Amino acid sequence: MLTEKQGEESIVSNFHDNESNIDNKEGGDGSKEDDQSMFGLKSFLWHGGSVWDAWFSCASNQVAQVLLTLPYSFSQLGMLSGILLQIFYGFLGSWTAYLISVLYVEYRSRKEKEGVNFKNHVIQWFEVLDGLLGPYWKAVGLAFNVIFLCFGSVIQLIACASNIYYINDHLDKRTWTYIFGACCATTVFIPSFHNYRLWSFLGLGMTTYTAWYMAIASLVHGQVEGVTHSGPSKLVLYFTGATNILYTFGGHAVTVEIMHAMWKPQKFKYIYLLATLYVFTLTLPSAAAVYWAFGDELLNHSNAFSLLPKSGFRDAAVILMLIHQFITFGFACTPLYFIWEKVIGMHDTKSLCLRALVRLPVVIPIWFLAIIFPFFGPINSAVGALLVSFTVYIIPALAHMLTYKDASARKNAAEKPPSFFPSWAGMYAVNMFIVVWVLIVGFGFGGWASMTNFVRQVDTFGLFAKCYQCNPPPIHPSGASPPPLPPHH
């Protein structure tokens, strides 16, 4: 292995042209291990930067609580649209994740040629935009990323409270949110994505079990008496469901941080696509089977656990999802921790306890928002339409086009177009299609539908709802707003 001094010298070299040197780094953040610790238990469980680590991180982070809301989306969309939109947005998301990886490689290549050292600095998406396109793009990227990650973390807390209620309903969901907010705050002790090796592996196993439990349990249960499948019945429901699926494949807010934790970041290019293909094996069978079994009942049950029969298998799935949501909370919050550390000048602090202490203020507003808006399901669609549409799809596509708009930039690009797109014109055409489609369908129609549905939930249950959908109202396939519920604990 390289000595520490050699590692510091090699990290400022162009990583794209020096793969052998990068192989000897622990990750993009420049941390090192000697030969003995490389094979130690701590190293095996804690220090991950391989292609497999990145794949597990992407696949684990892509589907968490949204797995439980996809049947709800199918009831709004209908079976055919639900399946087709999953496939469509899955590939669309994989493409924009590829664009983000290309822009990261370009940014880092340029900076390392200038002698910039990233030894104690984690590169983030807004910094890539700043380096390639200037401060205005940095501001836009930072604003969307921060708000998206904030609400992504909020959703995990809401999901924890919603899930545990199906095992223990002695406490209302709001109280469970208080409890899990405190539990998830412990993620401040996980330094970076470099240290999620074990958690990512376990997290994917948990979602795999839950997805196949949902599918098998639904098939064994069979269709409920008088089951109906009326979706799609109203535009507002259709586009609400569509934006939830757009959100499903929009986990790119942490893509740059996952890449930076890799030993060879330039190998990330197709990892997100491979992760998405695996995720299809989880989301498609589970959502289709639950919708087949329960049909329109799902319109008022945004969490699939609420309809599946109580059993030891269901309780196991609930517990595994609770653990996984803790992991996903950490995934969503870690980039926010980095940003906050940079703002207060503590990003290069080596003390784990000190970093954990300064990170705590990030968790508090997330905790508070989860208590204000406990709307499991509808909030996914709102976040998808208003935030994911720009953060994950529109901004990366526009940034790629503008970065390579000049012939000299294309000629000196660190990453050339992929083999299946031999020309830059083909990439521009795909990027432009994504911008127009997501702007009109995702943000436009999706924003209208999801906010209409979200406001409907606020009118029905109120802010600070103590127990959202604990005692669901009658089914309204037409999408009409049900009468307000009496107070329920």
Report whether 239 contacts 445 (CB < 8 A): yes
Domain count within the chain:
1
Rounded Cα–Cα distance for residues 360 and 454 (Å): 29
pTM assigned to the model? 0.81
Report whether 236 contacts 452 (CB < 8 A): yes
Rounded Cα–Cα distance for residues 481 and 169 (Å): 26
Return the C-alpha torsion angle 20, 25, 30, 36, nearest 10: -160
Residue 261 pLDDT > 90:
no
Rounded Cα–Cα distance for residues 478 and 465 (Å): 24
Weakest-pLDDT range from 59-63, 143-147, 485-489: 485-489
DSSP, collapsed to helix, strand or coil, labels residue 438 as helix
Range of the domain at 246: 48-461
Rounded Cα–Cα distance for residues 356 and 379 (Å): 29
Who wins on pLDDT, 384 or 313? 313
In a domain, 4, yes or no: no
Q: Which of 69-73, 245-249, 259-263, 450-454 has the highest mean pLDDT?
A: 69-73
Q: What is the pLDDT of residue 465?
A: 59
Q: What is the pLDDT of residue 286?
A: 96
In a domain, 421, yes or no: yes
Residue 46 pLDDT level (bands cut at 50, 70, 90): low
Report whether 7 contacts 30 (CB < 8 A): yes
Summarised one tens digit per residue, pLDDT across range 128-179 is 999 999 999 999 999 998 988 888 888 888 878 777 877 877 777 778 888 8
C-alpha separations of 243 from 218, 289, 398, 476 in Å: 25, 21, 20, 21
Q: Which residue in the block uniquely carries the two structure tokens 């609930």?
A: 318
Q: State mean pLDDT over 296-322.
A: 89
DSSP state of 487: P
In a domain, 469, yes or no: no
Q: Which of 47-56, 196-205, 256-265, 283-292 has the highest mean pLDDT?
A: 283-292
In a domain, 240, yes or no: yes
Question: Within 47-118, where are the H helices?
Answer: 51-62, 66-77, 79-113
Q: What is the pLDDT of residue 377?
A: 57
In a domain, 13, yes or no: no
Q: What is the pLDDT of residue 17?
A: 39
Residue 104: CATH number of its domain: 1.20.1740.10
